Structure 1
Amino acid sequence: MNTPQDDTRFERGLALLREIELDLGNEHGLLHGMRVHAPRFKRRTIEMFGDFYAGEQTVDLKTKLLLAVAHASHQASDEGLLEFHIGAALKAGWSQVQVVEVLELAAAFAGWQTAIRAVQIAVRTFEKCASAEKK
């Protein structure tokens, strides 16, 4: 059973996702399929996004999203998570060049193979954004 505090966290998370998520043509975005197969996990994930990205914190949302790109690039095999954060970073106002520079920096920590894979995901994400803009 959800408490009023859980409901508040959930609503804050939903509002945050609406603010940062860029439509990249994925139905339900990053959390695709969870509504039916893992609804409690989806809810907790949405609450977590609200906790981590929203509210009064010393690091602004735009910076957090670019940091998330750097961290997600270390797990480049999870394309959806990296794509989501690249799209959110672009929506927040970071340029494609800035996103790629962060991925280049990540190579020092994650290795070149991982960074190359992350840049490939970024390029595909940029192409999806360009296609969406044309529609």
Structure 2
Amino acid sequence: MTDINSPEEKARYERGLAVLTEVDGGSAPAVMENLADIAPALAHHIVAFGFGDIYARPGLDPKQRQLITLGILASLGGCEPQLEVHVKTSLNVGLTPSEIVETFIHTAGYAGFPRALNAVGVAKKVFADRGLLPVSSDR
């Protein structure tokens, strides 16, 4: 079992928290707080591994990482709450609503229309909350 209080784990967590804070736009603390009473180790690993190890890697910029994440979550299906967080994060790192919608249109060819429709529904909610509707599209 991993000791989340070891110096190495604390360093991974701090690195991840810095990356998460940079891209997230403020909703991450709520996710971590929701896990604090039942799965604090899971909250730690989301930050340490997901952001301290994966998102902090060189080679892809935050926009590219978010496009990949959107496509994967949409393709998996059943991840709508996490997809909502990542649609928000995608906007925070500079993706446009049109780019996000285009990602979900592209997903339809690989994961099917139901999953693409669910993803667009999540995006529509986020866009409405941020006053970004209607989304203009070339097609």
Tell me whether 1:12 sits opposite 2:20 in the alignment.
no
For 1:66, the equivalent position in structure 2 comes to: 67
Contact 1:54 1:61 in 2 (8 A): no
Tell me the distance in 1 between the aligned counterparts of 2:25 and 2:76: 20
Tell me the distance in 2 between the aligned counterparts of 1:60 and 1:27: 23
The 5 Å alignment of 1:30-109 reads 31=32, 33-49=34-50, 50-55=52-57, 57-109=58-110
Tell me the distance in 2 between the aligned counterparts of 1:80 and 1:44: 18
TM-score (norm 2): 0.83
For 2:111, the equivalent position in structure 1 comes to: 110
Q: CA deviation at 1:123?
A: 0.4
Tell me the distance in 1 between the aligned counterparts of 2:74 and 2:42: 23
Contact 1:14 1:46 in 2 (8 A): yes
Tell me the distance in 1 between the aligned counterparts of 2:90 and 2:99: 10
Deviations 1:80-117 (A, max 9, x none): 21011111111110100000000000011110011001
Tell me the distance in 2 between the aligned counterparts of 1:104 and 1:32: 33
Q: Identity over aligned residues, as a percent?
A: 27
- Structure with the larger RCO, 1 or 2 (CA within 8 Å, 6+ apart): 1
For 2:130, the equivalent position in structure 1 comes to: 129
Q: CA deviation at 1:79?
A: 1.5
Distance 1:33 1:113, change over 3 A: same
Contact 2:23 2:62 in 1 (8 A): no
Amino acid at match of 2:90: A
Distance 1:62 1:6, change over 3 A: same
Tell me the distance in 2 between the aligned counterparts of 1:23 and 1:125: 14
Counterpart of 1:28 in 2: which secondary structure? helix
Amino acid at match of 2:60: V
Moved more, 12-21 or 94-103: 12-21
Runs of 5+ in structure 1 lacking a partner? none
Moved more, 120-129 or 96-105: 120-129
Tell me the distance in 1 between the aligned counterparts of 2:46 and 2:82: 12
Amino acid at match of 2:117: I
Aligned residues: 128
